[in-house]
Structure 1
Amino acid sequence: MATRLVQITMKAQDDAALGRFWAEALGWGTSVEAPGVTNIEPEGLTYPDPSVLYVDVLRVPDPKTVKNRVHVDLATTSETHQAELVARLKDLGATPVDVGQGDVPWTVLADPEGNEFCVLEPREIYRDTGPVAAVVVDSVDPRAMARFWGEAMDWTLHEVTDDRAVLRSAKGVGPYLEFLRTPGTKTVWNRVHFDLRPYAGDDQAAEVARLKALGATPVDVGQGDVPWTVLADPEGNEF
């Protein structure tokens, strides 16, 4: 058995407004799954598709208070494209933010609800990812995250060092998942989290049990009686 990363979920006080921002940013469309849930999805693909990570925006009452430990990196194809994308995102409501990045070739912005993200300079490795180059997670121990997530999903481990672990769909398409060594530990629920899904025909309960055996732990985030299971990885990242 194996599971796969199919989407990320962002919490927002105004899901519709943040959904519009990210739809415009990525060049995708939106739909409303239920009151308080806005889906952001590319046109012409059938969910789930390994070439993209879909985005759900979920309405919550509480505002963002600390730097996110999970963020999105956007890909660009040239310096001109990077500059144009940064300008367009600012027009949509993004603001520059200093997270201690110093003098770097990428630009750090925050969306209208304060979620940090990066607009990268052109990099060959991200030439075929689509608009999202990577989902990046702050990590105390990238090697440990590589061990857990490398077994939790059928994604391929591309790189692992003391400072960085990189995975991508086994089909060799779509964004990367990167764990970067970062000072500090997780203190609050992540406002951006992963959604995983078993393959058709696989048993959800058996997959949950397998993930627990790998080191995942059950988490109560107030989800109530729902058909999905909320777990946390060994560093406390909910999924």
Structure 2
Amino acid sequence: MATRLVQINMKARNDSALGGFWAAVLGWEVSSEGPGVTNLEPEGFVYPDPVAVCIDLVMSAEPKTVKNRVHLDLGTTSAAHQAALVARLKELGATPVDIGQGDVPWTVLADPEGNEFCVLEPRPIYLDTGPIAAVVVDCGDPRVMARFWSEAMDWTLHEVTDDTARLRSAAGVGPYLEFVRTPDAKVGWNRVHLDVRPYPDDNLEAEAARLRALGATPVDLGRSDIPWKVFTDPEGNEFCLLTPA
């Protein structure tokens, strides 16, 4: 049994408008599974496929009050590409933000609802990832996170140090999942979280039990009308275990 990262879930005051922004950023298609939910995936994509980690935007009235602990890094192929992409993103409604990054070669921006993301300088490791180079999670201990997530999913652990851990799909395609040490404490429910999904022949309850044994903590939302399960990882980051597919 194993899971794999299939999408990120992002809260939005206006899921349709924010979905339109991110679709334009990534060049992806927009769809909806119902009111208040906007789904983004590459054109011609057959879900789920490790070549991409999709985005679900879900309407929420909760205001954004702190820096997100999960964000996207966008890849570029040259200095000119980076500069052109940053300029285009600003035209789409992104704004520069200072999160204490200092003098770095990448550019930190926020989308129209204030969600931070980075436009990276060219890095060879990200040349074949697609527009999203990495899904990045702030953490206190990358080694602890690497241990849990490399066992929770069938993704391959490529690097782990005291400051960074990096995983990628078992197929060696799509974006990386990275855990980066930061001094910030987690405050409240993460506005952006990971969604993982078991394989078609797996059993949801058995997979939930396996994750609990690895150190995941169940979260009781007080609802019986949802087919998925909510957990937190060893550092308290919420994630959803979706039904097998």
> With structure 2 as the length reference, what TM-score do the two structures score?
0.96
List per-residue Cα deviations over 1:6-62 (Å, max 9, x = no partner).
Answer: 000110000000000000000001001110000011111200010000000000011
Structure 1: how far apart are the matches of 2:219 and 2:236?
A: 9
Secondary structure of residue in 1 paired with 2:229: coil
Quote the Cα distance in structure 1 between the aligned partners of 2:189 and 2:202.
Answer: 29
Q: Which amino acid aligns with 1:165?
A: A
For residue 94 of structure 2, what is the aligned residue in structure 1? 94
Residue 181 of structure 1 aligns with which residue? 181
State the Cα deviation string for residues 186-239 of structure 1 (Å, max 9, x = none): 111111111110001110110011000000001135655200000010101111
**Which digits, 9 at most, give the CA deviation of each residue in 1:50-84, with x for residues without a partner?**
00000000000111000001100000011111111
| Matches of 1:48 and 1:135, distance apart in 2 | 17
Paired residue for 2:219? 219
8 Å CA contact 2:66, 2:187 repeated in 1: no
Matches within 5 A, 1:34-183: 34-183=34-183
Would the aligned equivalents of 2:74 and 2:120 in 1 still touch at CA under 8 Å? Answer: yes
Identity of counterpart residues, as a percentage?
74
Q: 1:223 and 1:80, CA in 2 relative to 1: closer, same or farther beyond 3 A?
A: farther
Residue of structure 1 equivalent to 2:243: none
The number of residue pairs the alignment matches comes to 239
The 3 A distance-change label for structure 1 pair 18 and 87 is: same
Q: Secondary structure at the match of 2:46?
A: coil
Match of 1:15? 15
**Equivalent AA in structure 2 for residue 37 of structure 1:** V
Contact 2:8 2:195 in 1 (8 A): yes
Q: Is the 8 A contact 2:74 2:118 kept in 1?
A: yes
What is the RMSD of the two structures over their aligned residues, measured on CA atoms?
A: 0.9
**3-state DSSP of counterpart to 1:84:** helix
Structure 1 residue identity aligned to 2:118: C
Deviations 1:112-157 (A, max 9, x none): 0000000001100000000000011111010000100010000000
Q: Which runs of 4+ in 1 moved over 6 A?
A: none
Shift, 1:184, TM fit: 2.3
Deviates more, 1:218-227 or 1:77-86: 218-227
CA distance in 2, matches of 1:43, 1:166: 27
Q: Normalising to structure 1: TM-score of the pair?
A: 0.98
- Structure 1's unaligned 5+ residue stretches are none
Please give the alpha-carbon distance, in whole angstroms, between the structure 1 residues aligned to 2:65 and 2:110: 13
Going from structure 1 to structure 2, the CA distance change for 1:75 and 1:227 (only over 3 Å counts) comes to same
Q: 1:59 to 1:129 in 2, by over 3 A?
A: same
DSSP-derived class of the 1:17 partner: helix
Distance 1:30 1:223 in 2: 28
Distance in 1 of aligned mates of 2:114 and 2:223: 24
Work out the CA distance in 2 between the residues paired with 1:35 and 1:28. 20
Q: Relative to 1, partners in 2 of residues 1:123 and 1:222: Cα closer, same or farther, differing over 3 Å? A: farther
Work out the CA distance in 1 between the residues paired with 2:179 and 2:19: 25
